[in-house]
């Protein structure tokens, strides 16, 4: 089973700043089958990125995903107030998928 480790656990930033979230896999993720999801309190998660770098429908272009192999990054170019949330990475390249433990992006 591939273990995904997200860092940092919490990111304290101000609106307008750039956020860089990391997701490291214990083994190479096949064909960049890596997704990023956003979750706000009391809401279902929302798909942001799939295939490591493809934005889902309706996702603003301030969100971007990059990386391959074992190291992946989600970048939020300029934080908007609605971007403060918990972010999860997910690998779906093996028959048994896994999620990272999440990174909370909070207002500084």
Partner 1 sequence: VQLVQSGAEVKKPGASVKVSCKASGYTFTTKYLHWVRQAPGQGLEWMGILNPSDGSITYARRFQGRVALTRDTSTSTVYMELSSLTSEDSAVYYCLVVSYAWGQGTLVTVSS
- Residues in region 56-95 near partner 1 by CB under 8 A: 56-57, 88, 90, 92, 95
Print the binding letters for residues 22-41 with partner 1: x by CB under 8 A, - otherwise: -------------x-x-x--
| Site membership for partner 1, residue 9 (CB under 8 A) | no
DSSP, residue by residue, the chain: ---EEEE-SEEEE-TTS-EEEEEEESSPPGGG-EEEEEE-TTS--EEEEETTTEEPTT--TTEEEEEETTEEEEEESS--GGG-SEEEEEE-SSSS-EE---EEEEE-
- Chain residues in the site for partner 1 (CB under 8 A): 1, 35, 37, 39, 44-47, 50-51, 54, 56-57, 88, 90, 92, 95-102
């Amino acid at each position: 089973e591939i273990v995904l480790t997200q860092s940092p656990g919490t990111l304290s930033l101000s609106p307008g700043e750039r956020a860089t979230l990391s997701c490291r896999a214990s083994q190479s993720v096949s064909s960049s089958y890596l997704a990023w999801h956003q979750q706000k309190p009391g809401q279902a998660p929302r798909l942001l990125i799939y295939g490591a770098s493809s934005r889902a429908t309706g996702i603003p272009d301030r969100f971007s995903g990059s990386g391959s192999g074992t190291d992946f990054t989600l970048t939020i170019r300029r934080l908007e107030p609605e971007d403060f949330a918990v972010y999860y990475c997910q690998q779906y390249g093996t028959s048994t998928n896994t999620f990272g433990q999440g990174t909370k992006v909070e207002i500084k």
